[in-house]
Amino acid sequence: QKEVEQDPGPLSVPEGAIVSLNCTYSNSAFQYFMWYRQYSRKGPELLMYTYSSGNKEDGRFTAQVDKSSKYISLFIRDSQPSDSATYLCAMSVPGGFKTIFGAGTRLFVKA
């Protein structure tokens, strides 16, 4: 079993839709949770990070962490065609430097 599981998709939504992206994990020691966006043939770009449980909002993006369920989510409001990319979740333990990534979910937003 992988430490971090992420549905690879693809997920296809119409422009303006609310998108929900999710990851589950098995290591209860993870405390730092990150979301990256990766366009084709480019390096990942950090979108948001959250420490421990709770919500964090940044513009159209909201990250949620539920440590009791070992489940994290990224919501994208008013999705745009420019949001079409692969979204990677990533996690680290405190004091650690090894970040574990999910496989990524491919998102397509249709105009």
Partner 1 sequence: DTGVSQDPRHKITKRGQNVTFRCDPISEHNRLYWYRQTLGQGPEFLTYFQNEAQLEKSRLLSDRFSAERPKGSFSTLEIQRTEQGDSAMYLCASSSPHGESSYEQYFGPGTRLTVT
Least CB distance to partner 1 at residue 90 (A)? 7
Contact mark string toward partner 1, 65..104, x via CB under 8 A: -----------------------x-x-x----xxxxxxxx
46 makes contact with partner 1 (CB under 8 A): yes
Angle at 49 between CA 44 and CA 50, to 5 degrees: 155
- Supply the minimum distance, in Å, between the C-beta of residue 41 and partner 1: 7
Does the protein bind partner 1 through residue 41 (CB under 8 A)?
A: yes
Rg (CA), the chain: 13
- Residue 93: partners with Cβ closer than 8 Å, 6 or more residues away: 27, 29, 30, 31, 32
Closer CB to partner 1, 14 or 43, in the complex: 43
Instruction: Enumerate residues 6+ apart whose C-beta is below 8 A from 15.
Output: 79, 80, 81, 109, 110, 111
Q: Binding residues for partner 1, per CB under 8 A?
A: 4, 6, 8, 32, 34, 36, 41-46, 49, 51, 88, 90, 92, 97-104
